C-alpha cells in the first residue's frame, strides 16, 4: 500500500464554525442593552439592533465555552456558566421585547428573524434569575462530567483509570467478549451520578420553554423546521419507514456474523437482538469497526483505512524518533509520540481541506491551524467529542477533536470541516441568519463529502491500494458505507424519541433507563446482555444528552446527505450509477454547494433544498438508490434466516415474545 501521498502536506490554513454546528446552539451573546427596548423602535430597527448586539457579545460567550471545553476545571466552568447565564438572560430580554411586534406589519425577512430569535437556544431558560443560575450551572457541570468521565478498576498500585477514548479503543480493536463487556459497562458508570442533575435540568428547561409559549422543550426543538412540530415528527416517521427494510437486512446479516463469531447463544440477545457491547461502538450507532467480521469478500481489494492511517502514524513516529536520536527518557518518548500523533492528525485534516479546496472553496485561515485542538492534551481534561466552532463570525474558526489515526476520526474531520465551511460561507449574513437552512443541513454538509470518498478517491490519495472493478469490490465498498450510514439511522431517531418523551412527561424520571432500552430495542434491535435497572442512567453516557444537543438533526442529515450527493453528482455531469460517483475536483459541483452554504438560514429550507436538488421534500429514495446493490446482496445472504427482532423487554433477561417473524 502506498501512503506517501498523505504525507504531501497541502498548504495549511483553516477555520471553524460556531453557531449551530455540533456545538450546543450558541446562545446569544451578552448584549449591552438591558431589558428595555428603546421606545418607538420599529420591527426592522429592533432586528437590526439585536443583530448588532448579538455580534458584539458573541466572542466573549464563545471564548468562555471554548475554555471550559478545552480546559475542564472549576474555574473555567464557573466562567462558562456565568457567560451562558448572561447570554440566556439577554435572549429572554430580546424575546420579551419582540412581543410588541406580534401581529404587526413587517417584511418577511424581519418576521423570519424574529421567529429564529425564539429558537436560538436549545436550552430555554426560566426568567427567574435563581433558576437561570441553577440551569447554567447544571448544564456546565453535566458536560464537564461527561468530558472528565473515567472508569477506574483495581486499587493502590494496580489502580487503572480509562477515559472514553481508551474504552472505545477496546470496542474498536478487541474482539474478546468479556473485555468488550467490561469497557462498555465501565463507560456507562460515568453517567450514573448525572441522573439527578438531568431530572432537574428537564424541569428547568421546560419552565423556560413554557414561558416562551411552547408546550415543552421537545415541542420547541421541533419548531425549527419551517413546518409544525407535528409535521416534522410525522416526517421522521415517514423517512424511517422508507429505510427500515434496508436496516433490517443489515441487522440480520450482522447478527448471523456475530453468531458465527461468538456462538449461537452469545452472538445475540433474546428476541434476536444485537448485544450492545459487541457492535464495535459504545452506542451501536456506527458498525464500521466490525469490518474484520462483516467484510463481504476477503480478496476484493483492501479498504482497510484504519490500517493505512495507523501505518501513517508509525511513519510519523519513525520520523520524530530520528529527530531525537540516542537515549531517551520515558517522558521524552511520550513527548515524541505526542508530536507524531499531532503530525498525523494535521495530515488527516489537510487531506480533508484538500477535498473542499478541490471544489473551489477557500483555504482555511491560518488561525485555524494555530487555535484548533487536534489531539487530546496530556495535562488536563477536555471534552473530546468532536465539534466545530465559529468564535467571532469573522474568520476565527476552529475544530475541537481528539483525533486518532482511524477511519472514524478521518471521516469525522471531513464532517467537522463541513460545519466550518458553512460558517465561513454564511458569515456574510446577518447574525440571526448565520445558521443552517435547518440543523440537519448543517450536519449533512461534511457527510455529503464523505459519500464522495469512494474507493477510487481513497486510492488517489494513497490511503488504499489498487482497487478491483468487480461485483465483489462493489459490495465491499457498499458494505463499508452501510456500516457507517445505514446502521446509524435508527439510532439517529431514537435519541430524541426518548428526549421528546422525557420533555413531554410521557417518560417519567423513574423510568428513564427502562424507556431508553425500550427505544433502543424498538428502533435499533439492540439490547444489553445484563439488566440495566434505574440505578443506571445510560442516556447520559451519550454526549448529546449531557451536552443538550438535539439529535433529530443527525437522522435528517443521514437522509439529506444522499439527496445533496445526488444533486452534486448531477451538477458535475456524472452519468453512472450513484454509488460510484465522486465529485472530487469538480468546480461546478462546488459552486452549487457553495451557493447553498451562502444562504444560511435566510430563507425556508424547502426553498434552499429546491435550489440544490429541484425538490422541496426530504426523501430517502436516494439512500435506497445508492444501496440497491447491497440490499439485493443482503437479501440473498439472509435467505432462509428469520430476520427482524422482538423488542419485548428492556433487558436480556426478558423472554422473547413469539411475534410474527419476518422472513429475510
Ligand atoms: O456529534 C457528531 C459530530 C459533531 S456534530 C461529531 N455526530 C453524531 C455523533 O457523534 O453522535 C456526527 C454523527 C452523529
Ligand atoms: Zn456535526
- The domain that holds 261 is classified in CATH as 1.10.1370.10
Residues 255-269 have pLDDT tens digits of: 999 999 999 999 999
DSSP string, 499-547: HHHHHHTSS-GGGHHHHHHHHIIIII-EE-SS---TT--GGGGSTTTTT
> What is the arithmetic mean of pLDDT over 596-613?
98
Q: Could you tell me the pLDDT band of residue 450, with boundaries at 50, 70 and 90?
A: very high
Catalytically annotated residues? 385-386, 415-416, 419, 443, 544, 554
> What is the arithmetic mean of pLDDT over 419-425?
98
Q: Do 528 and 477 sit in the same domain of this protein?
A: yes
pLDDT at 40 over 60: yes
Any ligand 1 atom below 6 A from CB of 110: no
Q: Do 188 and 296 sit in the same domain of this protein?
A: yes
> What is the arithmetic mean of pLDDT over 479-507?
98
Residue nearest to atom 6 of ligand 1 (CA): 386
619 backbone dihedrals φ, ψ, rounded to 5°: -155, 135
Q: Could you tell me the pLDDT band of residue 301, with boundaries at 50, 70 and 90?
A: confident
User: What distance lies between CA 436 and its chain's CA centroid?
Assistant: 15
Burial of 158 per CB tally in 10 Å (0-12, 13-18, 19+) = exposed
Taken in order 456, 457, 460, 465, is the CA torsion positive or negative?
Answer: negative
Could you give the 3-state DSSP secondary structure of residue 560? helix
User: What distance lies between CA 490 and its chain's CA centroid?
Assistant: 14
Query: What pLDDT shows up at residue 27?
Result: 56
Task: Report which bound ligand comes closest to the CA of 445.
Answer: 2
Q: Report d(CA 415, CA 429) in Å as an integer.
A: 22
> What is the arithmetic mean of pLDDT over 620-633?
98
Residues ≥6 apart with Cβ < 8 Å to 532: 188, 513, 517, 538, 650, 651
Q: What letters, b where the CB count within 10 A reaches 16 and e where it falls short, cover 365-389?
A: bebbbebbbbbbeeeebbbbbbbbb
Q: Do 491 and 583 sit in the same domain of this protein?
A: no
Q: Between the CA of residue 420 and those of 383, 424, 426, what are the distances in Å?
A: 19, 6, 10
Query: What pLDDT shows up at residue 228?
Result: 98
Q: Report d(CA 290, CA 550) in Å as an integer.
A: 28
Q: Do 359 and 379 sit in the same domain of this protein?
A: yes
Is residue 317 assigned to a domain? Answer: yes
Task: Report which bound ligand comes closest to the CA of 549.
Answer: 1
Q: Do 475 and 461 sit in the same domain of this protein?
A: no
Q: Report d(CA 514, CA 532) in Å as an integer.
A: 8
Query: What pLDDT shows up at residue 351?
Result: 98
Which helix (H) or strand (E) covers residue 397, if one does?
Answer: strand 397-400
Looking at the DSSP bridge assignments, the partners of residue 387 are 400
* Rg, C-alpha atoms of the chain: 24
How close is the Cα of 382 to the center of ligand 2, in Å?
A: 18
What is the overall mean pLDDT for the chain? 92
Nearest to 180 by CA among 266, 307, 247, 291: 266
Residue 79 DSSP class: H
Q: Report d(CA 481, CA 407) in Å as an integer.
A: 11
Is residue 130 assigned to a domain? Answer: no
Q: What letters, b where the CB count within 10 A reaches 16 and e where it falls short, cover 405-419?
A: bbbbbbbbbbbbbbb
Q: Report d(CA 432, CA 438) in Å as an integer.
A: 13
**Number of CB atoms found within 10 A of residue 660's CB:** 7
Query: What pLDDT shows up at residue 7?
Result: 29
The full 3-state SS of 27-53, as one line of letters, equals CCCCCCCCCCCCCCCCHHHHHHHHHHH
Is residue 12 assigned to a domain? Answer: no
Query: What pLDDT shows up at residue 34?
Result: 56
Query: What pLDDT shows up at residue 38?
Result: 82
Residue nearest to atom 5 of ligand 1 (CA): 22
Q: Report d(CA 404, CA 528) in Å as an integer.
A: 28
Q: Considering the chain, what percentage of its residues have pLDDT values greater than 70?
A: 92
Residue ranges of the alpha helices (H) in 212-304?
217-221, 229-262, 291-294
Q: Report d(CA 151, CA 185) in Å as an integer.
A: 9
280 backbone dihedrals φ, ψ, rounded to 5°: 80, 5
pLDDT at 337 over 50: yes
Is residue 34 assigned to a domain? Answer: no
How close is the Cα of 420 to the center of ligand 2, in Å?
A: 10
Q: Do 410 and 382 sit in the same domain of this protein?
A: yes
How close is the Cα of 22 to the center of ligand 1, in Å?
A: 7
Looking at the DSSP bridge assignments, the partners of residue 398 are 389
Could you give the 3-state DSSP secondary structure of residue 430? coil
Could you give the 3-state DSSP secondary structure of residue 244? helix
pLDDT at 15 over 50: no
Task: Domain of residue 238: give its range.
Answer: 149-300+469-550+627-664
Is residue 654 assigned to a domain? Answer: yes
Query: What pLDDT shows up at residue 659?
Result: 44
Any ligand 1 atom below 6 A from CB of 164: no
Is residue 69 assigned to a domain? Answer: no
Q: What is the largest CA-CA distance in the chain?
A: 77
The tally of domains found in the chain comes to 2
Q: Do 230 and 248 sit in the same domain of this protein?
A: yes
Query: What pLDDT shows up at residue 649?
Result: 54
Strands (E), 60-212: 150-153, 160-163
- Interaxial angle between packed helices 439-451 and 407-426, expressed in degrees from 0 to 180 and rounded to the nearest 10: 130
Q: Report d(CA 538, CA 526) in Å as an integer.
A: 14
Q: Report d(CA 231, CA 220) in Å as an integer.
A: 13
Query: What pLDDT shows up at residue 596?
Result: 98
Is residue 142 assigned to a domain? Answer: no
Residue 194 DSSP class: G
Which helix (H) or strand (E) covers residue 206, if one does?
Answer: helix 195-211
Considering only residues 8 and 247, tell me which one the structure prediction assigns the higher pLDDT.
247
CA atoms within 13 A on the CB side of 225: 25
Q: Report d(CA 134, CA 350) in Å as an integer.
A: 42
Query: What pLDDT shows up at residue 648?
Result: 78
Q: Do 324 and 396 sit in the same domain of this protein?
A: yes
Any ligand 1 atom below 6 A from CB of 412: yes
Q: Between the CA of residue 445 and those of 70, 393, 414, 640, what are the distances in Å?
A: 25, 19, 9, 40
Any ligand 1 atom below 6 A from CB of 554: yes
C-alpha cell at 389: 466552532
Residues ≥6 apart with Cβ < 8 Å to 39: none
Query: What pLDDT shows up at residue 327?
Result: 87
Residues 515-544 have pLDDT tens digits of: 999 999 999 999 999 999 999 999 999 999
Q: Do 520 and 573 sit in the same domain of this protein?
A: no
How close is the Cα of 198 to the center of ligand 2, in Å?
A: 23
C-alpha cell at 102: 406580534
Ligand 1, atom nearest to 554 Cα: 14
Euclidean distance between the first and final Cα of the chain, in Å?
38
Task: Report which bound ligand comes closest to the CA of 24.
Answer: 1
Residues 144-202 have pLDDT tens digits of: 999 999 999 999 999 999 999 999 999 999 999 999 999 999 999 999 999 999 999 99
Query: What pLDDT shows up at residue 25?
Result: 53
How close is the Cα of 22 to the center of ligand 2, in Å?
A: 4
> What is the arithmetic mean of pLDDT over 361-382?
97
| Helix/strand number for the chain, H first, E second | 25, 8
Which helix (H) or strand (E) covers residue 643, if one does?
Answer: strand 642-643
Is residue 61 assigned to a domain? Answer: no
**Cβ pair 551, 497 in contact under 8 A:** no
Ligand 1, atom nearest to 23 Cα: 5
Strands (E), 30-155: 150-153
Q: Hey, which of 21, 415, 524, 561 would you mutate to test ligand 1's pocket, going by the most ligand atoms within 8 Å of its Cβ?
A: 415
510 backbone dihedrals φ, ψ, rounded to 5°: -70, -10
Q: Do 326 and 180 sit in the same domain of this protein?
A: no
Could you give the 3-state DSSP secondary structure of residue 615? coil
Residues ≥6 apart with Cβ < 8 Å to 557: 440, 441, 442, 443, 444, 447, 492
pLDDT at 395 over 70: yes
Q: Considering the chain, what percentage of its residues have pLDDT values greater than 90?
A: 89
Burial of 329 per CB tally in 10 Å (0-12, 13-18, 19+) = exposed
Any ligand 1 atom below 6 A from CB of 54: no
Q: Do 214 and 252 sit in the same domain of this protein?
A: yes
642 backbone dihedrals φ, ψ, rounded to 5°: -90, 105
Q: Report d(CA 417, CA 413) in Å as an integer.
A: 6
Nearest to 338 by CA among 348, 330, 327: 330
How close is the Cα of 116 to the center of ligand 2, in Å?
A: 20
Query: What pLDDT shows up at residue 593?
Result: 98
Q: Do 162 and 280 sit in the same domain of this protein?
A: yes
Amino acid at each position: 500500500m502506498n501512503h506517501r501521498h498523505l504525507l504531501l502536506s497541502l498548504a495549511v490554513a483553516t477555520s471553524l464554525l460556531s453557531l449551530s454546528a455540533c456545538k450546543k446552539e450558541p446562545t446569544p451573546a451578552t448584549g449591552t442593552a438591558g431589558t428595555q427596548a428603546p421606545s418607538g423602535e420599529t420591527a426592522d430597527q429592533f432586528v437590526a439592533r439585536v443583530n448588532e448586539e448579538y455580534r458584539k457579545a458573541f466572542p466573549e460567550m464563545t471564548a468562555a465555552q471554548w475554555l471550559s471545553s478545552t480546559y475542564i476545571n472549576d474555574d473555567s466552568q464557573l466562567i462558562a456558566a456565568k457567560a451562558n447565564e448572561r447570554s440566556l438572560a439577554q435572549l429572554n430580554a430580546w424575546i420579551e421585547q419582540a412581543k410588541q411586534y406580534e401581529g404587526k406589519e413587517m417584511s418577511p425577512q424581519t418576521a423570519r428573524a424574529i421567529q429564529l430569535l425564539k429558537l436560538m437556544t436549545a436550552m430555554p431558560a426560566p426568567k427567574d434569575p435563581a433558576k437561570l443560575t441553577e440551569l447554567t450551572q447544571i448544564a456546565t457541570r453535566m458536560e464537564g462530567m461527561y468530558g472528565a468521565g473515567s472508569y477506574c478498576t483495581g486499587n493502590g498500585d494496580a489502580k487503572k483509570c480509562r477515559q472514553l477514548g481508551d474504552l472505545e479503543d477496546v470496542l474498536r480493536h478487541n474482539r474478546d467478549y468479556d473485555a468488550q463487556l467490561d469497557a462498555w459497562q465501565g463507560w456507562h458508570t460515568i453517567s450514573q451520578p448525572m441522573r439527578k442533575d438531568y431530572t432537574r435540568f428537564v424541569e428547568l428547561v421546560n419552565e423556560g420553554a413554557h414561558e416562551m409559549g411552547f408546550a415543552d422543550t421537545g415541542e420547541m426543538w421541533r419548531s425549527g423546521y419551517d413546518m409544525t412540530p407535528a409535521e416534522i415528527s410525522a416526517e421522521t416517521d415517514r423517512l424511517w419507514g422508507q429505510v427500515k427494510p434496508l436496516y433490517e437486512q443489515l441487522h440480520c446479516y450482522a447478527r448471523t456474523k456475530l453468531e458465527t463469531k461468538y456462538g449461537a447463544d452469545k452472538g445475540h440477545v433474546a428476541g434476536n437482538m444485537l448485544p450492545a457491547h459487541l457492535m464495535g461502538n459504545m452506542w451501536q450507532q456506527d458498525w464500521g469497526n466490525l469490518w474484520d467480521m462483516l467484510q463481504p469478500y476477503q480478496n476484493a481489494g483492501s479498504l482497510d483505512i484504519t490500517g493505512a492511517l495507523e501505518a501513517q502514524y508509525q511513519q510519523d513516529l519513525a520520523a520524530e524518533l530520528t529527530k531525537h536520536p540516542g537515549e531517551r527518557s520515558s517522558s521524552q518518548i511520550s513527548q515524541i509520540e505526542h508530536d507524531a500523533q499531532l503530525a498525523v492528525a494535521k495530515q488527516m485534516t489537510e487531506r480533508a481541506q484538500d477535498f473542499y479546496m478541490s471544489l473551489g472553496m477557500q483555504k482555511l485561515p491560518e488561525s485555524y491551524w494555530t487555535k484548533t485542538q487536534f489531539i487530546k492534551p496530556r495535562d488536563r481534561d477536555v471534552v473530546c467529542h468532536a465539534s466545530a466552532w465559529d468564535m467571532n463570525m469573522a474568520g476565527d474558526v476552529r475544530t475541537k477533536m481528539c483525533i486518532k489515526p482511524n477511519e472514524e476520526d478521518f471521516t469525522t474531520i471531513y464532517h467537522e470541516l463541513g460545519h466550518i465551511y458553512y460558517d465561513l460561507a454564511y458569515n456574510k449574513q446577518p447574525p440571526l441568519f448565520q445558521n443552517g437552512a435547518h440543523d440537519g443541513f448543517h450536519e449533512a454538509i461534511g457527510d455529503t463529502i464523505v459519500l464522495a470518498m469512494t474507493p477510487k478517491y481513497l486510492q488517489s490519495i494513497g490511503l488504499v491500494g489498487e482497487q478491483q472493478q468487480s461485483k465483489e469490490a462493489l459490495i465491499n465498498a457498499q458494505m463499508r458505507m452501510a456500516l457507517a450510514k445505514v446502521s446509524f439511522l435508527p439510532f439517529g431517531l431514537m435519541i430524541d424519541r426518548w428526549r421528546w418523551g422525557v420533555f413531554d412527561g410521557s417518560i417519567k424520571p423513574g423510568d428513564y433507563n427502562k424507556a431508553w432500552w425500550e427505544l433502543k430495542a424498538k428502533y435499533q434491535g439492540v439490547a444489553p446482555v445484563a439488566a440495566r435497572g434505574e440505578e443506571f442512567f445510560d442516556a447520559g453516557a451519550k454526549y448529546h444528552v449531557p451536552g443538550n444537543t438535539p439529535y433529530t438533526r443527525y437522522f435528517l442529515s443521514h437522509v439529506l446527505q444522499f439527496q445533496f450527493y445526488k444533486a452534486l453528482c448531477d451538477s458535475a455531469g456524472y452519468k453512472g450509477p450513484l454509488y460510484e460517483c465522486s465529485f472530487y475536483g469538480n468546480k461546478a459541483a462546488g459552486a452549487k454547494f457553495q451557493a447553498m452554504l451562502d444562504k444560511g438560514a435566510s430563507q425556508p429550507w424547502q426553498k434552499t433544498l429546491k435550489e440544490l436538488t429541484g425538490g422541496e421534500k426530504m426523501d430517502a429514495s436516494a439512500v435506497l438508490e445508492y444501496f440497491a446493490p447491497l440490499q439485493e446482496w443482503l437479501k440473498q445472504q439472509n435467505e432462509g434466516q428469520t430476520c427482524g427482532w422482538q423488542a419485548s423487554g428492556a433487558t436480556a433477561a426478558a423472554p422473547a415474545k413469539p411475534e410474527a417473524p419476518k422472513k429475510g
